[in-house]
Amino acid sequence: EDKVVQSPLSLVVHEGDTVTLNCSYEVTNFRSLLWYKQEKKAPTFLFMLTSSGIEKKSGRLSSILDKKELFSILNITATQTGDSAIYLCACISGSRLTFGEGTQLTVNP
Partner 1 sequence: EPEVTQTPSHQVTQMGQEVILRCVPISNHLYFYWYRQILGQKVEFLVSFYNNEISEKSEIFDDQFSVERPDGSNFTLKIRSTKLEDSAMYFCASRKLSQGADTQYFGPGTRLTVL
CA distance 89 to 3: 11
Among 41, 58, 68, 82, binds partner 1 (CB under 8 A): 41
Of 9-17, 18-26, 64-72, 86-94, the segment contacting partner 1 by CB under 8 A is 86-94
**85 contacts partner 1 (rule: CB under 8 A):** no
Contact 89, 72 (CB under 8 A): yes
47 and 35 Cβ atoms separated by less than 8 Å:
yes
Q: Does 100 engage in binding with partner 1 (CB under 8 A)?
A: yes
- Min dist CB 69 to partner 1, Å, is 21
Cross-sheet strand order for the sheet of 56-58: 3-7, 19-26, 71-76, 61-66, 56-58
Query: Binding segment for partner 1 among 9-17, 18-26, 45-53, 57-65 (CB under 8 A)?
Result: 45-53
Separation CA 6–CA 85 (nearest Å):
14
60 vs 72, 83, 93, CA distance in Å?
Answer: 17, 10, 29
Q: Does 90 bind partner 1 (CB under 8 A)?
A: yes
Contact segment (CB under 8 A) with partner 1 among 12-20, 40-48, 60-68, 69-77 equals: 40-48
Residue numbers at the binding site for partner 1 (CB under 8 A): 31-32, 34, 36, 41-45, 48, 50, 88, 90, 92, 94-102
